Amino acid sequence: MTTTAIPAESQRATPPAPKRRPKREREGAAWVFLSPWVLGAVVLTLLPMAVSLYLSFTDYNLFDPPRWVGLRNYTQMFTEDPRYWRSVVTTLTYVVIAVPLQLALALVVALALKSMKHGKAFYRSAFYAPSLLGASMSIALVWRAVFNDGGTVDNLLGTGGWVNKPGWALLAVALLTVWQFGAPMVIFLAGLQQIPAELYEAAAVDGAGKWRQFLSVTVPMLSPVLFFNLVLQTIQAFQVFTPAFAISAGKGGPADSTLVYTMYLYDRGFVASHMGYASAMAWVLLLVIGIVTVVLFRTSRSWVFYASEGDR
Amino acid sequence: MTATAVTRKPVRWGRIALHLGCLAALLVMLYPLAWLLATSLKPADEVIASLDLLPRHLEWSNYETAFEGVNDVSIWRLLSNSLIIAGGAVIGNVISCSLAAYAFARLRFRFRGPLFAFMIATIMLPHHAVLIPQYIIFNQLGLVNTYWPLILPKFLATEAFFVFLIVQFMRGLPRELEEAARIDGCGPFRSFFQIVLPLTRPALITTAIFTFIWTWNDFFTQLIYLFDPDKFTLTLALRSFVDASSTSAFGPMFAMSVIALLPIVLFFLAFQRFLVEGMASSGLKG
């Protein structure tokens, strides 16, 4: 690709204040660069969102044309489908267990590594590894075996197989997520390293102990990163699928206790061929994630501290 | 001198305790991986009977069985299916995301602000909101049960996370280089290919590695779009073991799990720096 049009002003020998280029040419170039993204955004994001909204008001099985049913999918979901509510409660429980535990562990380990002189790079990589491996079916299968009847956890704690106990199977799924605390940890660590050492020195001079320094320097300075991790991990947790699928052998059991939202959506749409119902579920998920994100952003104003806004 | 010795000692103990704590945590965390490796080498009777982590004798035949494949599809076939999809996704993401990122990071155009905000918002968009219509589109095009639904979207920069990652990186590059080139008559295309792109290499490598690993691990999309055992990836083939959970297949199942995990482990060992730093830089400066 070569640019053919060389504008006249570029031939000037001394351009003291480079005059503005003909705007249109740059603009055209921008759209060329942007074209794959625009195509993807329209054909694979915006259009599907509109279609999915439309389908959510229809009965559609992929073979016959969609049949308009108004709000029936939604009313059925909210009033007549106990499994739907089951999946909602299961997902919320999972989010509430997994996300705080994962972030707390990530923060504790990041704090531990921060002060390290030797071995920091090694630990950082080692703790990060599960974040990549854990998303795989391989590890999900290991998890099922380790938490199964006669598995390692049973032998250590004598709990019997968690995988077969309605109250415990979800905890096993959550622990797989917690195990992958490496990604938020790395982000925490990067955030911790950007806190200027002078702040700690100043706090120490003012007589602040370690705990006080943590509360008055580390927490506020780290709050944007904490917020970022919280939003990202929460959104991801709402969409958990693979570990729940593997641990319950694709069925969401025992007694629907690991039937997370996306698994029920998959079941309705791709197993039972109720695409309209699944679309309605997808839109509720979209709205809930949107609302949760907005709420997090709203509350963040009271606890997230941006250094550039404050008086430094 | 004694004073320094006295004050220094507790610090040192603290440090040792810190390392011991980290090592202990690491051992617990690595246990599932050790378990996976050990079980893949255990004979069938030992899997349930023995509680030891290490197998009493190594059962290599698990790997032989795994290499025969699943559903009469050889493991080489599964492996190459996985590679085609992951490789196609890498090429697609690197090209399309870097193009879009350059426009957002360096070029002026109308609606840049709103479009950038929209791009960021799609990072948070749950995949499920677009999943069913996307499936219908690919179904109408007769592309379900082919690799296109898994590869084509990557050529259209649908993974906004990487666009954002590359934008962040490009913004950190000195503008003077491009401005000097522009004065010399270098248009945006040459400027992109000859100046910006070579300098963006670290971000592109990060994008490539993450795309590979995430696509390789991906289960949900493959589950939906592929149903011909011939077209299965390694990840999907493992799913066959999910349904038939008989203990006799434990050894081969975990041998296959090891094989499916191997590329990720190798990628991780080779590129851990890029991966860890890519993750670290993605969240900051936002």
Tell me the per-residue pLDDT of A6-17, one tens digit each, with 9 for 90 and over.
Answer: 444 444 444 455
Q: How many Å lie between the alpha carbon of B152 and the closest alpha carbon of chain A?
A: 10
Cβ atoms of A190 and A113 within 8 Å: the answer is no
B129 and B48 inside one domain: no
From the candidates A1, A21, A24, A34, which should be mutated to test the interface with B, based on the most B CB atoms within 10 A?
A34
From the candidates A1, A32, A33, which should be mutated to test the interface with B, based on the most B CB atoms within 10 A?
A33
B47 and B78 inside one domain: no
From the candidates B96, B144, B156, B179, which should be mutated to test the interface with A, based on the most A CB atoms within 10 A?
B156
Q: pLDDT at residue A101 above 90?
A: yes
The minimal CB distance from A44 to the residues B30, B158, B241 is found for: B158
pLDDT at A159: 74
* Model-wide pTM > 0.90: no
Q: What's the token pair of residue B228?
A: 């011909």
Per-residue pLDDT tens over the stretch B42-94 = 887 777 666 667 777 787 888 888 888 777 788 999 999 999 999 999 999 99
pLDDT at A11: 46
State what percent of residues in chain A have pLDDT above 90: 66
CATH of the domain at B239: 1.10.3720.10
CATH of the domain at A108: 1.10.3720.10
Task: Please report whether residue B66 resides in a domain.
Answer: no
- Among the three residues B58, B84, B111, which one is the final residue of a domain in this structure? B58
Task: Please report whether residue A157 resides in a domain.
Answer: yes
Q: Which domain holds residue A195?
A: 82-301
Task: For residue A222, give the chain B residue with the closest CA.
Answer: B284
B89 and B45 inside one domain: no
Q: pLDDT at residue B105 above 50?
A: yes
Mean pLDDT along residues A122-134: 92
Contact A286 B190 (CB under 8 A): no
pLDDT at B70: 78
B54 and B77 inside one domain: no
Average pLDDT, chain A: 87
Cβ atoms of A265 and A214 within 8 Å: the answer is no
Contact B119 A5 (CB under 8 A): no
Q: Which domain holds residue B206?
A: 71-283
Task: Please report whether residue B204 resides in a domain.
Answer: yes
Taking alpha carbons only, the member of A36, A59, A286, A69 closest to residue B163 is A36
pLDDT at B53: 75
Q: How many Å lie between the alpha carbon of B133 and the closest alpha carbon of chain A?
A: 5
pLDDT at A23: 54
Taking alpha carbons only, the member of B206, B128, B134, B282 closest to residue A41 is B134
When comparing pLDDT for B154 and A22, which is higher? B154
Q: What's the token pair of residue A161?
A: 């197989």
B21 and B150 inside one domain: no
B53 and B79 inside one domain: no
B183 and B275 inside one domain: yes
Over its C-alpha atoms, chain B yields an Rg (Å, rounded) of 24
Lowest-confidence region among A15-29, A225-239, B111-125: A15-29
State what percent of residues in chain A have pLDDT above 70: 90
CB contacts of B51 in chain A (<8 Å) are 155
Exposed, middle or buried by CB within 10 Å (0-12, 13-18, 19+), for A100? middle
Task: Please report whether residue A74 resides in a domain.
Answer: no
CB contacts of A230 in chain B (<8 Å) are none
Q: Cβ–Cβ contacts within 10 Å for residue B131, how many? A: 23
Cβ atoms of B176 and B233 within 8 Å: the answer is no
**What CA dihedral angle connects A196, A198, A200 and A206, to 10 degrees?**
-150
Task: Please report whether residue A173 resides in a domain.
Answer: yes
- Among the three residues B6, B34, B58, which one is the final residue of a domain in this structure? B58
Contact B257 A137 (CB under 8 A): yes
Domain count, chain B: 2
When comparing pLDDT for A70 and A11, which is higher? A70
Task: Please report whether residue A38 resides in a domain.
Answer: no
Per-residue pLDDT tens over the stretch B226-254 = 999 899 999 999 887 766 555 557 888 89
Contact A279 B132 (CB under 8 A): yes
Q: Is A56 helix (H, G, I), strand (E, B) or coil?
A: coil
Taking alpha carbons only, the member of B94, B82, B88, B91 closest to residue B207 is B94
Task: Please report whether residue B7 resides in a domain.
Answer: no
What are the angstrom distances between the C-alpha of B97 and each of A27, A213, B92, B161?
Answer: 19, 41, 8, 9
Helix ranges (DSSP H) in chain B? 2-39, 44-49, 61-68, 75-106, 112-124, 128-140, 148-151, 160-171, 175-183, 188-190, 197-199, 201-217, 220-225, 234-243, 250-283
Domain count, chain A: 1
ipTM surpassing 0.95, yes or no? no
Instruction: Check if A294 contacts B (Cβ < 8 Å).
Output: no
Task: Please report whether residue B5 resides in a domain.
Answer: no
pLDDT at A152: 79
Q: Categorize the per-residue pLDDT at B1 as very low, low, confident or very high, splitting at 50, 70 and 90.
A: very low
Lowest-confidence region among A129-138, A285-294, B7-16, B164-173: B7-16
DSSP code, position B141: T
pLDDT at B2: 46
Instruction: Check if A66 contacts B (Cβ < 8 Å).
Output: no
Task: For residue A241, give the chain B residue with the closest CA.
Answer: B220
Q: pLDDT at residue A252 above 70?
A: yes
Contact B214 A135 (CB under 8 A): yes
Q: pLDDT at residue B26 above 50?
A: yes
Per-residue pLDDT tens over the stretch A169-226 = 999 999 999 999 999 999 999 999 989 999 999 999 998 888 899 999 999 999 999 9
Q: Categorize the per-residue pLDDT at A18 as very low, low, confident or very high, splitting at 50, 70 and 90.
A: low
Mean pLDDT along residues A106-121: 90
DSSP H or E stretch at residue B126: none
Q: Categorize the per-residue pLDDT at A5 as very low, low, confident or very high, splitting at 50, 70 and 90.
A: very low
Q: How many Å lie between the alpha carbon of B108 and the closest alpha carbon of chain A?
A: 6
Per-residue pLDDT tens over the stretch B27-50 = 989 999 999 998 888 887 777 666
Mean pLDDT along residues B243-269: 83
Please, which residues have CB within 8 angstroms of residue A166's CB and are 6 or more apart in sequence? A254, A255, A257
Average pLDDT, chain B: 87
- The torsion angles phi and psi of B117, rounded to 5 degrees, stand at -60, -40
pLDDT at A9: 44
Q: Is B70 helix (H, G, I), strand (E, B) or coil?
A: strand
pLDDT at A22: 53
Q: Which of A61-65, B31-35, B146-150, B251-255 has the highest mean pLDDT?
A: B146-150
- A238-256 burial by CB neighbour count: b if 16+ within 10 A, else e? bbbbbbbbbbbbbbbbbeb
Instruction: Check if A150 contacts B (Cβ < 8 Å).
Output: yes
Q: Please, which residues 205-234 of chain A have a Cβ atom closer than 8 Å to chain B?
A: 225, 228-229, 231-232
Match 């006249």 to its residue by tokens: A8
Q: pLDDT at residue A2 above 50?
A: no
Q: What's the token pair of residue B277?
A: 């730093």
> Please, what sign has the CA dihedral across residues A161, A164, A167, A172?
positive
Task: For residue B15, give the chain A residue with the closest CA.
Answer: A116
Q: How far is CA A185 from the centre of its chain?
A: 14
Task: Please report whether residue A8 resides in a domain.
Answer: no
Task: Please report whether residue B86 resides in a domain.
Answer: yes
CB contacts of B275 in chain A (<8 Å) are 128, 132
Helix ranges (DSSP H) in A118-218? 120-133, 137-146, 152-157, 169-179, 182-193, 197-205, 210-213
How many angstroms separate the CA atoms of A176 and A133, rounded? 11
pLDDT at B100: 96
CB contacts of B217 in chain A (<8 Å) are 132, 135-137
